[in-house]
């Protein structure tokens, strides 16, 4: 029997195909999804991985067996699935393993209006149902389901053009100066969405790896790993481009490279987009997770907005956005969330904001973002440890009692001094501690980083 404890994560379902996740299991998840959400209709999409079309069809079959109508939108980015869920007001399921290697696949699920489904919002119940069916061998069927008299129907619908039109209605690019932009789709879904979204804009697009290929022949589709943007950085310089954009496998995240070939911090992008959104919605609330730069809440306050700090993870961001009516949210991982996009994350919309900001003035991108990138950061550093709790306590003891140092435990351990801060978080799935350090200058950041790492790895 499948081990769902390894397959069902905090926010989604993800595992190796077909050893951990196969078509039969996808069908059971489809049936359970409908039973938990009570949906009369759902929308299903998938990425370019070879196993994705079959898994998506099986999920839809399970949903239909429970009496729900299934709208299949086929190949799409994750944010395109969120668009369909929001616009059609239907629960949705996206088959993708995002930036994971080719042998993986998974399911990201949402309720109507792109509201997230995680452990506390339905995923635990879905898992319980599937485990029960696996034990009994009972196939999901209409027979015996309360209030269901017949199977649902299946229909196909293309949403790409409507998705592009919705994004372009939110950012005015009509008056920008012509820009040359290199786009690395990493053989992922950016190769599907970018041509339609960028069509007709004053952009000279240099495409890289736009061929949809779920085996990722050129590099992993994870632009947060520096080795995966080396090709993009070199191409930006070779082309004399104004900027570069890199999308992850399911194209819901976007990473930005400036005209010098230097990566732009996702915190700087968060601050830039926040300033633009606050210009449209004065006094609005902006959500940021606790490991984005100090510059993010500073810029939000300077622009008259209200910054709200949250835990790491999209379910926490989306929950706080709904609670506060926030206009925008950003994470260090290059996830960007918009109220005008059903509080869901869309790297494409963030990319359009960057293009609009850059094309609306004459300076280079490095100059434009310099006012949003104020501090020295370490990036996320992972350390393998045998006892996460013991190493965290060793760090706490070493910094306790120092003048001006404070602690908080919103998510892991955050230690803050007058000139620096760092956060230490345990991984939920691996024996790792994740360290992020920021300081007012590079020398201080390096000193604090090295001291913390020595304690973690002792």
CA neighbours closer than 13 Å in the CB half-sphere of residue 94: 30
Largest CA distance in the chain: 69
Specify whether 141 is catalytic: no
Catalytic residue among 58, 85, 98, 378: 98
- C-alpha span between 129 and 138 (Å, rounded): 11
CA 355 to chain centre: 20
Q: Is the CB of residue 64 less than 8 Å from the CB of residue 103?
A: no
Residues recognised as catalytic: 98
């Amino acid at each position: 029997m499948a081990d769902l404890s390894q397959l069902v994560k905090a926010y989604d379902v993800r595992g190796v195909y077909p050893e951990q996740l196969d078509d039969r299991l996808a069908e059971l998840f489809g049936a359970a999804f409908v039973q938990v959400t009570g949906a009369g209709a759902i929308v299903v999409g998938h990425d370019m991985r070879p196993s994705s079309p079959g898994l998506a069809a099986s999920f839809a079959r399970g949903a239909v067996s429970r009496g729900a109508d299934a709208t299949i939108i086929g190949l799409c980015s994750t944010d395109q699935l969120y668009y369909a869920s929001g616009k059609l007001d239907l629960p949705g399921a996206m088959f993708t393993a995002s930036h994971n290697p080719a042998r993986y696949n998974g399911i990201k699920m949402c309720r109507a209006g792109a509201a997230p489904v995680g452990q506390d919002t339905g995923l635990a119940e879905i898992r319980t149902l599937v485990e029960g069916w696996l034990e009994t061998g009972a196939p999901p069927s209409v027979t015996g389901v309360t209030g269901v008299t017949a199977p649902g129907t299946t229909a196909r619908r293309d949403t790409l053009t409507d998705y592009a039109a919705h994004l372009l209605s939110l950012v005015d690019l009509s008056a920008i100066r012509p820009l040359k932009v290199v786009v690395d789709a990493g053989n992922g879904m950016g190769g599907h969405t970018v041509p339609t979204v960028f069509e007709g804009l004053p952009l000279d697009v240099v495409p890289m790896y736009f061929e949809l290929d779920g085996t990722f022949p050129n590099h992993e589709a994870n632009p947060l790993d520096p080795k995966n943007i080396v090709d993009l950085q070199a191409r930006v310089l070779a082309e004399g481009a104004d900027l570069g954009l890199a999308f992850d496998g399911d194209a819901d995240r976007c990473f930005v490279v400036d005209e010098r070939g230097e990566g732009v911090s996702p915190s700087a992008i968060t601050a830039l987009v926040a300033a633009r959104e606050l210009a449209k919605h004065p006094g609005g609330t902006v959500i940021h997770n606790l490991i984005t730069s100090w510059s993010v809440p500073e810029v939000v306050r300077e622009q008259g907005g209200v910054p709200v700090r949250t835990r790491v993870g999209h379910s926490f961001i989306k929950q706080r956005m709904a609670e506060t009516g926030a206009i925008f949210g950003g994470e260090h991982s290059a996830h960007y969330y918009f109220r005008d996009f059903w509080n869901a994350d869309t790297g494409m919309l963030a990319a359009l904001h960057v293009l609009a900001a850059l094309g609306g003035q004459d300076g280079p991108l490095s100059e434009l973002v310099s006012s949003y990138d104020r501090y020295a950061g370490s990036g996320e550093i992972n350390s393998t440890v045998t006892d996460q709790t013991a190493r965290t306590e060793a760090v706490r003891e070493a910094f306790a009692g120092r003048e001006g140092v404070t602690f908080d435990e919103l998510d892991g351990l955050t230690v803050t001094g007058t000139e620096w801060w760092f956060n230490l978080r345990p991984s939920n799935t691996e024996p790792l501690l994740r360290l992020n350090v920021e300081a007012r200058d590079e020398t201080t950041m390096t000193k604090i980083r090295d001291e913390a790492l020595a304690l973690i790895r002792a």
